[in-house]
Structure 1
Amino acid sequence: MQPHENTGHPRRWAILGVLVISLLVVVLDNTILNVALRTLADPVHGLGASQGELEWAINSYTLVFAGLLFTFGVLGDRAGRKRFLLVGLVLFGLSSLLSAYAQSPAQLIGARALMGVGGAAIMPVTLSIISNVFDPRERGRAIGVWAGAVGLAVAIGPILGGALLEHYWWGSVFLINVPVVAVGVVLVALLVPESRDPDPGRVDVLGVLLSVVGLVALTYGIIDGGEHGFGRPLVWVSILGGLAVLTWFVLLELRSDHPSLDVRLFRVPRFAAPVALVGLVFFAAMGVMFFSSFYLQLVRGYTPLQTGLLFLPFAAAQLVFAPRSAAMVRRYGGRAVAAVGLALTSVALAAFAFIDAGTPIWVVLVVFLLQGIGMANIMPPATESIMSALPREKAGVGSAVSNTVRQVAGALGVAVLGSVLSAVYRDDVAPALRGLPAGAHEAASESISGAYAAAGQLGPGGPTLVTAANDAFVSAMHWAAALSAAVAVLGFVVVLRWMPGRALDRVAGAPAASEPELAGTA
């Protein structure tokens, strides 16, 4: 074979388009929920969900998703990536129907967990198929398009969700998945070639169970502590128990010859640094996405559609900059591009610590634009570094680790920052709740959504409660934003200290890490 000959699939760009459609439905659903949170908290037009239940509606999906990603990546490599993609799409569509017609927060949380199973079957095989059908010299550009689709879906979700909520009931934000899934199934069946790993690993059942149990216990403790206070023994039993189970999981993976998460990969700097970067960025960003929707809809009074449209600068930045980041990496190196992107992201997240109820809305738009530009220039170099650190036939391993870290970090970001938000809000709003009826006091102390609902029953005293709730929420938002910015700055340190630099200039054709370097890889 001549060195200049392209080894990619003849229909590789059409296949990439199909994979983007499959990916959109997974990412879109996770962000479309953001603008529906206020509606779901409404006891009349929604399900009357508490803030803790809203966090679980997000995290039941992401935790199951993350817990199964690695194993499903291995199963996809073994059973066939196209087959797994089709099964995942069908399951995702069916569970979307269940979510749309849920009658209680508990039913919604359960249906969302089932959606996580479908999403876990879809996400890792999209990157695996990209690595299989594209020549290494084109892989960076293809992953740039893939990452751009992820970022675009993150921003389009709130816009689409807002438009649906403006005209239909809350279940429409899940029902919209069904036609997208139907189109995806047809196109995957027609265009995507079947591929599999010639030497797949075994499935680590105990490892999967330990990871899911540990993450759920840890997240439950964080969310419940934020909602009801950290002074109860149950909270610390859950948190410490979750950490103990996760420690057992790591020790098990170190000894296993078929780990569900090969922690030995983190000895390779070209792999470990970008994975850590992805985790830190999504921890910070997903928590901010959670509270910014409440800020825009309640404190600022925008409708769900207007709130969604305010995310357009973020979407535009992803659309414009993510596909071009591969060229920037070739020119300046992965470390430089990721560092600039992370600096912009850190500034944008820190800006939320200074935004209040009277901040001009154009300032908020500029902040979203900066965050979009920053994240568009973080994900492609990080993802390409992760994927190029592994042999081509082990693509499922790299994509699964990358997406597992992303989802776990996002879930923990929502849990931790949501808990900070709840705790600070509850303390700050407490003086304004003295003398309120028991029902109104409990609802208003739980969340800003509860305060608005209680204010509607208080007559002339309602506006005073709304003002106090807004002030308490903005103060809580400042603390959460400061913490998210600190996490992003930590990511900046990781980039400067450990992220590969000019090594990523060869992104179009960089050789994968050698087998000795990755000894023990599943």
Structure 2
Amino acid sequence: MKENYSKVYRHRWWTLAVIAISVLVVVLDSTIVNIALPTLQREMNTTQSELQWIINSYILVFGSLMLTTGSLGDRFGRKRLLQAGICIFAGASAAAAFASTGGWLILWRAVMGIGGAMILPSTLAIITSVFPENERGRAIGLWAGLNGIGIALGPILGGLIIDKLDWHWIFLINLPVAAVAIISGFFLIPDSKDSHPRKIDIPGTLFSAVGLAGLTYGLIQSGRDGWSDTLVIVSFISAAVFFTLFILWERRTAHPVIELSFFKNRRFSAGVGAVCLMALAMTGVSFGLTLYMQFVQQYTALETGIRFIPLAAGVMLGSGTSHRMVSRFGTTWIVVSGFIGAAVMAGLASLWKTDTPYWNIGVILSGFGFFLGYIAAPATTAVMSSLSGDRAGIGSAMNTVGRMISGSIGIAVVGSILSEVYSTSFREAVALTAGIPAAITEVAGDSVGAAVVAAQLLPPETGNIITEIARQSFMDGWQITTLITCGVSVIGAFFIMQFMPARAGK
């Protein structure tokens, strides 16, 4: 037993490297596919609805199964679940690459969501089991930082693939990465699981999966059909019903998916809360940033991807160094400083103009990434260190689910606000401008992207006027969304000051 633990400990950094590759498979795919959507529409003749569900089918399945797969990893073994997830993800990627219609692509993206839901909770749980407590903060910091690198690398790779190859390679690129993760993981990742496995909580698993599916679907559809849409309301009501059933069942069953007593631990609750508030805060910037880069600053997809590098570098630096600051000053003040720093960066971003030079943008993005690293890594460490190693899988799943659901809420709310402010500003400006056709106003008033496309069909003089009005109208919405980010970050700072113990055991 001692010899086995000694081997695991000696190989722990190699294990982390393999974990990073496994995470990269998931993170790269989500960002690459987003970049490729216009190409998929042109080459596959997909409808706008199909484009949305190429993204949303993955998110829906991924979010619905996260708690289930986290619990299964604790019971049957995290290495086993991780490797099976990578195989499913790679197989579905290969099938997606040769999909002949938008419908088939949506199906295989949903299967990829199953694989992704098996991969992510397993990676963080394995890190928790492999690294001793005094090194865990550093390891989780590197894990979070590598996520940031994947987020930046995805748009760059996506831009290169679209420019130099064809859309099939946005999925085929996953295969060699998955192969490396599977082969190296077989030798370098130790298996771990709950030493006293519980019976599978089938009712709790079903209640949580259906509740998460209803909530995720409602958030997805609200961004397209509005909050008052009947199907959106029914989705939210069904989510509330199944979450209520889930909580009532978990309180009475002897083998719950989630022990509700976890939330009595202040570090666990505050850590999950910090991750949720961080996801809410960052959507104000991240949602509009690609639109700002491509339609206002007029960069190509590849140029936009390259310009995300300072953000990723900031996340890597902040996450990678946060453990040292936590050991010196405690979790509370480092996470608080992260939220305050993010608020300042968001406030500065609200001052951007249509012609703001990139050096200004890059500096603010790097600072924003750095402070996000100061939130993400210490908060995640607080969550994972609050639980025993036997329950690391479900802890990791809670951390990921909280971030994903909060991000979806942020996108739905902030996206609606950005769209409403843009449309109002655009129509007010056009009303004061002579010579703009009513049909163009209707189309261009929908979004800055629609305005730029519509402007290209008009005589240059009129097209330039439309483009300039659209860019300025977008900046009106951008200012509001970044100020929302600022406000949520300030709330996050006060929340952590109130509820997060500085160190474990306090």
TM-score, scaled to structure 1: 0.86
Specify the code of the residue in structure 2 equivalent to 1:373.
F
Larger CA deviation: 95-104 vs 108-117: 95-104
SS in structure 1 opposite 2:274? Answer: helix
Q: 1:368-427, CA deviations, whole angstroms, 9 ceiling, x for partnerless residues?
A: 111111011112211111111111222112212111212222222222222222233333
Structure 1 residues 343 and 170, CA gap change in structure 2 (3 angstroms): farther
* Alignment-derived partner of residue 495 in structure 2: 494
CA contact (8 A) 1:12 1:133 kept: yes
Larger CA deviation: 64-73 vs 463-472: 463-472
Larger CA deviation: 84-93 vs 251-260: 251-260
Task: Quote the Cα distance in structure 2 between the aligned partners of 1:412 and 1:337.
Answer: 26
Report deviation, 1:38. 5.4
Task: Quote the Cα distance in structure 1 between the aligned partners of 2:205 and 2:427.
Answer: 42
**Percent identity between the two aligned chains:** 39
Specify the code of the residue in structure 1 equivalent to 2:22.
S
Structure 1 residues 145 and 223, CA gap change in structure 2 (3 angstroms): closer
Task: Quote the Cα distance in structure 1 between the aligned partners of 2:72 and 2:102.
Answer: 32
* Alignment-derived partner of residue 369 in structure 2: 372
Specify the code of the residue in structure 1 equivalent to 2:9.
H
Task: Quote the Cα distance in structure 1 between the aligned partners of 2:145 and 2:394.
Answer: 22
Task: Quote the Cα distance in structure 2 between the aligned partners of 1:74 and 1:120.
Answer: 11
Structure 1 residue aligned with 2:159, among 138, 162, 173?
Answer: 162
Specify the code of the residue in structure 2 equivalent to 1:80.
G
CA contact (8 A) 1:6 1:135 kept: no
Report deviation, 1:107. 4.7
Report deviation, 1:224. 4.0
* Alignment-derived partner of residue 476 in structure 1: 477
Report deviation, 1:138. 2.3
Matched, 1:449 2:449: yes
Specify the code of the residue in structure 1 equivalent to 2:456.
G
Task: Quote the Cα distance in structure 1 between the aligned partners of 2:282 and 2:63.
Answer: 17
Matched, 1:281 2:278: yes
Structure 1 residues 175 and 448, CA gap change in structure 2 (3 angstroms): farther
Matched ranges for 1:424-443 at <5 A: 424-430=421-427, 432=430, 436=437, 443=443
* Alignment-derived partner of residue 18 in structure 2: 18
Larger CA deviation: 429-438 vs 461-470: 429-438
CA contact (8 A) 1:165 1:304 kept: no
CA contact (8 A) 1:444 1:454 kept: yes
Report deviation, 1:236. 3.7
Task: Quote the Cα distance in structure 2 between the aligned partners of 1:392 and 1:221.
Answer: 34
Report deviation, 1:463. 2.6
Report deviation, 1:230. 4.5
* Alignment-derived partner of residue 130 in structure 1: 127
Report deviation, 1:251. 3.6
Task: Quote the Cα distance in structure 2 between the aligned partners of 1:436 and 1:105.
Answer: 34
Task: Quote the Cα distance in structure 2 between the aligned partners of 1:373 and 1:165.
Answer: 30
Structure 1 moving runs of 4+ over 6 Å? none
Structure 1 residues 166 and 347, CA gap change in structure 2 (3 angstroms): farther
Task: Quote the Cα distance in structure 2 between the aligned partners of 1:311 and 1:261.
Answer: 37
Larger CA deviation: 164-173 vs 221-230: 221-230
* Alignment-derived partner of residue 508 in structure 1: none
Task: Quote the Cα distance in structure 2 between the aligned partners of 1:479 and 1:251.
Answer: 40
Structure 1 residues 101 and 421, CA gap change in structure 2 (3 angstroms): farther
Specify the code of the residue in structure 2 equivalent to 1:11.
H
Larger CA deviation: 250-259 vs 156-165: 250-259
SS in structure 2 opposite 1:115? Answer: helix
* Alignment-derived partner of residue 89 in structure 2: 92
Larger CA deviation: 289-298 vs 457-466: 457-466
CA contact (8 A) 1:269 1:499 kept: yes
Equivalent pairs, count: 499
Matched ranges for 1:416-427 at <5 A: 416-427=413-424
* Alignment-derived partner of residue 147 in structure 2: 150
Q: 1:271-307, CA deviations, whole angstroms, 9 ceiling, x for partnerless residues?
A: 1001100011012224532321111011111011111
Q: 1:100-126, CA deviations, whole angstroms, 9 ceiling, x for partnerless residues?
A: 455565554443332221111111111
Report deviation, 1:55. 5.8
Task: Quote the Cα distance in structure 1 between the aligned partners of 2:488 and 2:125.
Answer: 29
Structure 1 residues 47 and 385, CA gap change in structure 2 (3 angstroms): farther
CA contact (8 A) 2:310 2:362 kept: yes
* Alignment-derived partner of residue 348 in structure 2: 351
SS in structure 1 opposite 2:9? Answer: coil
Structure 1 residues 220 and 12, CA gap change in structure 2 (3 angstroms): closer
Gaps of 5+ in 1: 505-510, 514-522
CA contact (8 A) 1:63 1:408 kept: no
* Alignment-derived partner of residue 294 in structure 1: 291
Structure 1 residues 348 and 170, CA gap change in structure 2 (3 angstroms): farther
Structure 1 residues 220 and 126, CA gap change in structure 2 (3 angstroms): closer
Q: 1:453-477, CA deviations, whole angstroms, 9 ceiling, x for partnerless residues?
A: 3333334433333223222322222
Specify the code of the residue in structure 2 equivalent to 1:395.
A
* Alignment-derived partner of residue 140 in structure 1: 137
SS in structure 2 opposite 1:377? Answer: helix
Specify the code of the residue in structure 2 equivalent to 1:475.
D
Structure 1 residues 365 and 449, CA gap change in structure 2 (3 angstroms): same
Task: Quote the Cα distance in structure 2 between the aligned partners of 1:230 and 1:320.
Answer: 39
Q: 1:77-119, CA deviations, whole angstroms, 9 ceiling, x for partnerless residues?
A: 2222221111100111122234445556555444333222111
* Alignment-derived partner of residue 42 in structure 2: 44
Task: Quote the Cα distance in structure 2 between the aligned partners of 1:288 and 1:104.
Answer: 33
* Alignment-derived partner of residue 112 in structure 2: 115
Report deviation, 1:337. 1.1
Structure 1 residues 46 and 290, CA gap change in structure 2 (3 angstroms): farther
Report deviation, 1:331. 0.9
SS in structure 2 opposite 1:374? Answer: helix
Task: Quote the Cα distance in structure 2 between the aligned partners of 1:255 and 1:288.
Answer: 42
Specify the code of the residue in structure 2 equivalent to 1:168.
L
* Alignment-derived partner of residue 320 in structure 1: 317
Q: 1:329-369, CA deviations, whole angstroms, 9 ceiling, x for partnerless residues?
A: 11111111111112112222333322221222222111111
Q: 1:146-182, CA deviations, whole angstroms, 9 ceiling, x for partnerless residues?
A: 2221222222222322332332334433332121011
Report deviation, 1:33. 3.9
* Alignment-derived partner of residue 463 in structure 2: 462
Q: Greater share of helix residues, 1 or 2?
A: 2
Structure 2 residue aligned with 1:398, among 395, 412, 427?
Answer: 395
